[in-house]
Amino acid sequence: MDKHNKRVVLVTGATGGLGTAMCKKLYDEGFHVVGNYYTKAKADAWLEQMKKDGYNVELFHGDVSDFDSTAAMIKKIETDIGPIDTLVNNAGITRDMRLINMGKDDWNAVINTNLNSVFNCTRNVLQGMIDRKFGRIINISSVNGQRGQFGQTNYSAAKAGMHGFTKSLAMEVAKLGITVNTISPGYIATDMVMAVPEKVLTQIVAQVPMGRLGGTEEVAHLVSFLASDKSSFITGSNYSINGGQHVY
């Protein structure tokens, strides 16, 4: 991409561990970076720190689990900033428990935030991408959507659902200059993962043939590749990035 011809990228869940690294990498690659946030208090501090670090990114509020909130946010971004060329569906939550203990709210919250959000965001940017004959849609799934995980029926179902969405939409828009791909990270060294007790972390790392956690910047690098012009023949794909934890 021509560094001076800035494409607008929207990263949902921008203020989280992976979202922050994605925003920084995409900014470094010359994108006009727009982040989405949910929790205001956290967002203010995040934006201040990003500006201090030299990242002139912008942040818009929206609940991506809700269609109307997402539609209003995207309309505001496109009015204030310009058309969204690249969408990274990254926002996500977990509510881990065995199915036998899972309530309807725990199921719905995870499906709405991790999977319905992908519909809510994509549906609201797609017509513009079709009109402009260019688009990049990158869905952040998880190794646990590929292999399943104890206590994560809701999360695994949502993350696995992204693959069907990615493959089907990729076929629908393949002739229109729009690519749709999924990234499935394994365990990444975000604050949340680093906060787990050392004993548990040791057990997690022991499952990874590379013997380490992934870096947030390693996932961000893959996002920036899939967002670039260089990835134009790749669509409907899933990229595992898990240090060999799940191979198939």
Ligand X SMILES: NC(=O)c1ccc[n+]([C@@H]2O[C@H](COP(=O)([O-])OP(=O)(O)OC[C@H]3O[C@@H](n4cnc5c(N)ncnc54)[C@H](OP(=O)(O)O)[C@@H]3O)[C@@H](O)[C@H]2O)c1
Which active-site residues does the annotation give? Answer: 155
- Say which amino acid occupies 141: S
Question: Could you count the other beta carbons within 10 Å of the beta carbon of residue 176?
Answer: 15
* Residue 49-68 contact track with ligand X, rule CB under 6 A, x = bound: --------------xxx---
Out of 25, 27, 36, 223, the residue judged to bind ligand X by CB under 6 A: 36
Out of 86, 92, 118, 136, the residue judged to bind ligand X by CB under 6 A: 92
CB of 209 to ligand X, least distance (A): 16
Euclidean distance between CA atoms 231 and 105, whole angstroms: 38
Q: Is 37 in the site for ligand X (CB under 6 A)?
A: yes
Q: Which of the residues 149 through 168 are near ligand X (CB under 6 A)?
A: none
Euclidean distance between CA atoms 248 and 242, whole angstroms: 12
Q: Is 17 in the site for ligand X (CB under 6 A)?
A: yes
On whether the CB atoms of residues 3 and 30 are closer than 8 A, the answer is yes
Nearer to ligand X, 9 or 134 (CB): 9
CB of 59 to ligand X, least distance (A): 10
Q: Is 16 in the site for ligand X (CB under 6 A)?
A: yes
* Residue 187-206 contact track with ligand X, rule CB under 6 A, x = bound: xx-x-xx-------------
DSSP characters for 33-85? EEEEES-HHHHHHHHHHHHHTT---EEEE--TTSHHHHHHHHHHHHHHT----
Nearer to ligand X, 134 or 222 (CB): 222
Token pair, residue 236, equals: 């409907």
Q: Is 38 in the site for ligand X (CB under 6 A)?
A: yes
| Cα radius of gyration rounded to whole Å, the chain | 17
Out of 8, 9, 10, 13, the residue judged to bind ligand X by CB under 6 A: 13
Out of 23, 87, 110, 140, the residue judged to bind ligand X by CB under 6 A: 140
| Cα dihedral 160→162→164→165 (10° resolution) | 170
The closest of 229, 221, 136 to 185, measured between CA atoms, is 221
Nearer to ligand X, 149 or 177 (CB): 149
Euclidean distance between CA atoms 130 and 170, whole angstroms: 12
Give the footprint of ligand X on this chain (CB under 6 A): 12-13, 15-19, 36-39, 42, 63-65, 90-93, 113, 140, 142, 185, 187-188, 190, 192-193
